[in-house]
Amino acid sequence: MRVVPLILLALCASCTRERPGTPPEHVLLITVENLRADHTHMWQYPRHTTFIERPDDQRSLDLDFLMERGVLFHEAFAPSGSTRPSLATLFTGLPPRAHGLLSPGGVLSDDVPTIAERFKAAGFQTAGFASPSSPLAESGLSRGFDVFVEDHTEIVYRDGVPVDGLLMRAFEYMRTEFDPQKPQLLWLHFGSPAPPWEPKAVHTSTGLIDFQTRYVDAEYEGSVESNIGFLEKVNKGEVSLSAVDRDALIGLYDGDLERANFLLRQLLEIYKHHFEVEEEVWDRTLVVTAGLSGCELGERGYYGSEESLHAQGLHVPLAFHHPRSLTGRRIFEDLVGLADVAPTLSEWMLLEPFSEPEGRSLLARTDRERSLEPRPVIAELPGGLISARIDGWRLLLNRDGVAREGAYEVSSAELYDTANDPSELEDVSGERPEVLGDLMRAVAEWERRFPRR
């Protein structure tokens, strides 16, 4: 009588494992703050912010490579412009109101399980290396990692030689503790290009690369300063910027993004080539790349992401790279969010599933070419500020009538036709009341499903 249940269990296990190609054994998760989608070269941005040219015409292991050679979700959006809430959503599959980490300095409650805890329970060796713009160590987001290292400097040089910093610590871990014979979860987090943008030079074997003046005229003598106090004055309207000043700020952002991409390439090269069975380790690794927010660059007079409710501050790259098991189309236009990452990894790596997440596994789309059911992707800021996007429309709500110091004002309800107004500059709520009503009802249903903790 015991044979039948065992056979059924074996059959069920084989069904869950039925995926195209050879499944990955390791996961490399890369998260980047303020990674604005339309400022990546993959989005046809003219500057090489995420693409590194090589003299031998070979492809570099850069952000563009991961998006181009993997599966890219072109319409992915963050649940917040702040790092902690977005990371918590990526790690839990829940919106900020449900996991409770809603503010930039919030802490994830101990009773909310994370994807790292799921990996660890499944027998993975887990490690995280973060160089965040503001501390993460006390946020609860490091739970589940056997090793967690936070270093706010990516790399430290002495006499032109790298001696310390995030890159060196991550390399030391890969050299001494990373065991490619065990399943691995490795998380790499980059704080750049978070404001204020002051991209430092990087030493290379061929000399210094000056990212500070990469896209800023060397003779620029305007009012722009690379400090957070200056940006706060700009956002409050205490400092006026000329067109040249605004171009300089955008140039600093682009230079900082290119620097982060350059440093990431160093770590990816180490990961791929350090191990004795180098090709096998890389080929057995699923690489997940996610921006945690975009960055507004003065479209409404605001610079930054934490107060952003529009696409410039919430539209991010989301890519999955594992050519041995990802087949079919490479770019999907489905509307998705960072909440979809945890359920996707849970199904992909056969982990314990999350209970009633907001997100859903994207494997039905990547593996089986099934269209995803349209559903709103919603971002929320403290004080009842909500941004909801679905079917070519963007709804903004100011539930509590919050006055926003240092950011653009938001009325009680605003509606944007993103198909015809991709920059989201013209409020058409008065002209399309039926669309406004439909979206208001969708948000109300979402609020009912996920009450605030």
Q: Which of 373, 399, 427 delimits the end of a domain?
A: 373
- Same domain for 97 and 210, yes or no, is yes
* Tens digits of residue pLDDT in 168-189: 999 999 999 999 999 999 999 9
Q: Is residue 78 part of a domain?
A: yes
The boundaries of the domain holding residue 437 are 378-449
Q: Residue 431 is part of a domain; what is its CATH number?
A: 3.30.1120.10
Same domain, 275 and 223: yes
Share of the chain residues as helix, strand and coil, in percent rounded to the nearest 5: 30, 20, 50
Phi and psi at 334, nearest 5°, equal: -60, 145
Number of other residues whose CB lies within 10 A of the CB of residue 169: 16
**59 or 15, greater pLDDT:** 59
Residue 49 bridge partners (DSSP): none
Q: Do residues 287 and 420 share a domain?
A: no
Same domain for 233 and 265?
A: yes
127 vs 104: CA distance, rounded Å: 23
Share of the chain above pLDDT 70, in %: 94
pLDDT at 330: 86
In this model, does residue 318 exceed pLDDT 60?
Answer: yes
Same domain, 292 and 411: no
Closest CA to 304 of 381, 366, 394, 357: 381
357 plus 383 within the same structural domain:
no
Q: Indicate if the pLDDT at residue 5 is higher than 60.
A: no
Is residue 412 within 8 Å of 397, Cβ to Cβ?
A: yes
R_g of the chain computed on alpha carbons: 22
pLDDT tens-digit readout, 121-137: 999 999 999 999 999 98
DSSP helix/strand/coil, 321? strand
Distances (CA, A) of 196 to 41, 46, 303, 361: 22, 23, 9, 35
Whole-number mean pLDDT of the chain? Answer: 91
CA dist 403 and 125 (Å) reads: 46
In this structure, of 278-282, 333-337, 439-443, the range with the lowest mean pLDDT score is 278-282
Specify burial of residue 83 (Cβ count, 10 A radius: 0-12, 13-18, 19+): buried
Tens digits of residue pLDDT in 269-279: 999 988 876 56
What's the whole-number mean pLDDT along residues 203-228? 91
- Helix/strand/coil (H/E/C) assignment for every residue in 375-442: CCEEEEECCCEEEEEECCEEEEEECCCCCCCCCCCCCCEEEEECCCCCCCCCCCCCCCHHHHHHHHHH
The reply to whether 300 and 382 lie within a common domain is: no
Asked whether residue 149 falls in the same domain as residue 93, the answer is yes
Number of domains in the chain: 2
Q: Answer yes or no: do 382 and 354 share one domain.
A: no
The reply to whether 15 falls in a domain is no
Q: Is the pLDDT of residue 52 over 50?
A: yes
Whole-number pLDDT of residue 368: 67
- Which one of 319, 352, 373 terminates a domain? 373
Cα–Cα distance measured from residue 309 to residue 312, given in angstroms and rounded to the nearest whole number: 8
CA quadruple 64, 67, 69, 74: dihedral sign:
negative
Nearby residues of 388 by Cβ (< 8 Å), 6 or more positions away: 376, 377, 378, 379, 394, 395, 397, 439, 442, 443, 446
Residue 387, pLDDT above cutoff 50: yes
Of all residues in the chain, the percent with pLDDT exceeding 90 is: 81
With a cut of 60, say whether residue 11 has pLDDT above it.
no
- Which of these three, 348, 373, 398, is where a domain ends? 373
More confident residue, 436 or 152: 436
Domain match, 360 and 382 both: no
Is residue 7 domain-resident?
A: no
What's the pLDDT at 46? 97
